[in-house]
Amino acid sequence: MLQIANAPKTPAARLSGSLKINQQENSSVQPGQPAQLSFSFSDESGQPVSEFEPDHGKFMHSIIVSKDLSRFAHLHPTLGQDGTFRLNINAPTQDPDNQDAPRAVQQGGPHLVFSEVHPKGGATQRVSFPLPSDGTPPQQSLNPDLIGSGQVQRYFIGDGTTATEGAPYRVTLDLDDMRSMSKMSMVSFNFHLEAKDHNNEYQPVTDATDWLGMKGHAVVIGAAGEEPQDRFFNHLHMDHHGHGPAKEGDGDHSQGAGPDFPFMLHGQMPTDGQYKIWGQFKRGEQVLTFPFAFELTPESGRS
C-alpha cells in the first residue's frame, strides 16, 4: 500500500482569495468567541471564481493552525450559491466533518489558514491566509518529539492535544528520513494506534472507519516562515485502494482499518528544520487527531 501526496498539477489560473471575518475585511477573531469566516476567490484577471469541484467529498478543505503550531483545526467551509465559502468557528456544530470548528481559534495571536479548492475545469490549488486573533499568544516553543529518523510513543485523548500515560490512546510514530535517497527521496511516517480497552489495557486499533473517503489523513506544516505562504505545507492522504502491489493474506488489513497507518511525503522535500505532523483517523463518530513535532537535521537522513 502506497500513500502519495497530491501531486502538484499546473493550475489553469492562479486563484487569489479573500478571507473576511464576520463580513469584515482586515478584521480579527476573538479567541473562543463565535465568528463567521467567509472565503471568496478571483482569477488572475480579477474575475470572481464561483464554480468548484469537490475533492475527497468536499469543495474546500481548510487547515487553521496557530503560528506556533500548538493549535490545529481541519475544517470544511460550505460553498454557497454565490460562490462564497462560509464557516462558523468557535461555535457548536452538528456537522460530523467539522468537529474541530468549536475549538478552531482558542488562543490569541496570529493564526494561519491553508485552504485547498478545486476550481471547475482547473486543478486543486492551495490558497493561504493570515488569520489574526486578538490577544497575546502564549510563549510556547515547539519541542520536537523526534529528531531525525526514529520512533516515539505518546498518549492522547484524541482531540488534538497531548496527554499523559493512562489517556485513551497510545500512538507510536515511526519516522524515516529518506530525503537523500537518490532514486526516490521521501520522508515516511507510520502511525501505530492503540486504544485502551475496558480492562485499561492498550490494544491495537483495527476498526478505523473512512473519513472523507480515506482511512487516514495527515498534514505536515513547517515551523519556519512568517507568512502562511512561506510555510512548508503538505496534506497527505491514505488511499485505501492502494497503489502498491497487493500483499498476499493482507485481508482486512489491506483496507487500512489499523493499527498501522503509513504515509509518505513525496515531491517537494522539506528542508532541515522543525515541523509538526497531525495524523487524523475516524473511529465510530469521532475524528481523532494525534500531533507530533519533529525535526529534520543534516544527519537525520539516510541514503
* Residues 242-271 close enough to bind Cu ion by CB under 5 A: none
User: Judged by CB, which is closer to Cu ion: 103, or 196?
Assistant: 103
- Is residue 283 involved in binding Cu ion (CB under 5 A)? no
User: Judged by CB, which is closer to Cu ion: 123, or 163?
Assistant: 123
- Residue with the closest Cβ to Cu ion? 61
Q: How far is the CB of 233 from Cu ion (least distance, A)?
A: 13
Q: Which helix (H) or strand (E) holds 118?
A: none
Candidates 30-38, 43-51, 55-63, 277-285: pick the segment binding Cu ion (CB under 5 A): 55-63
Cα–Cα distance measured from residue 297 to residue 209, given in angstroms and rounded to the nearest whole number: 35
User: Judged by CB, which is closer to Cu ion: 61, or 170?
Assistant: 61
Q: Is the previous residue joined to 259 through a cis bond, with omega within 30 degrees of 0?
A: yes
Q: How far is the CB of 97 from Cu ion (least distance, A)?
A: 7
- Is residue 118 involved in binding Cu ion (CB under 5 A)? no
Which residues are registered as beta bridge partners of 119? 52
User: Judged by CB, which is closer to Cu ion: 61, or 231?
Assistant: 61
- Is residue 61 involved in binding Cu ion (CB under 5 A)? yes
CA 240 to chain centre: 18
Candidates 54-62, 100-108, 148-156, 186-194: pick the segment binding Cu ion (CB under 5 A): 54-62
Cα–Cα distance measured from residue 115 to residue 97, given in angstroms and rounded to the nearest whole number: 15
CA atoms within 13 A on the CB side of 282: 15
Cα–Cα distance measured from residue 24 to residue 229, given in angstroms and rounded to the nearest whole number: 22
User: Judged by CB, which is closer to Cu ion: 195, or 288?
Assistant: 288
Q: How far is the CB of 76 from Cu ion (least distance, A)?
A: 6
The backbone torsions φ and ψ at residue 3, rounded to the nearest 5 degrees and listed phi first, read -115, 125
Q: How far is the CB of 118 from Cu ion (least distance, A)?
A: 12
- Is residue 276 involved in binding Cu ion (CB under 5 A)? no
Beta strands in the chain (DSSP E): 16-21, 35-42, 48-49, 60-66, 72-75, 78-79, 85-89, 109-117, 125-133, 146-147, 150-156, 162-163, 169-178, 186-196, 202-204, 217-222, 233-237, 260-265, 273-283, 286-296
Q: How far is the CB of 149 from Cu ion (least distance, A)?
A: 28
How many of the chain's residues bind Cu ion (CB under 5 A)?
Answer: 1
Q: Are 264 and 4 in contact (CB under 8 A)?
A: yes
Q: How far is the CB of 220 from Cu ion (least distance, A)?
A: 14
Candidates 58-66, 104-112, 137-145, 241-249: pick the segment binding Cu ion (CB under 5 A): 58-66
Q: Grid coordinates in use for 192?
A: 501505530
Binding site residues, Cu ion, CB under 5 A? 61
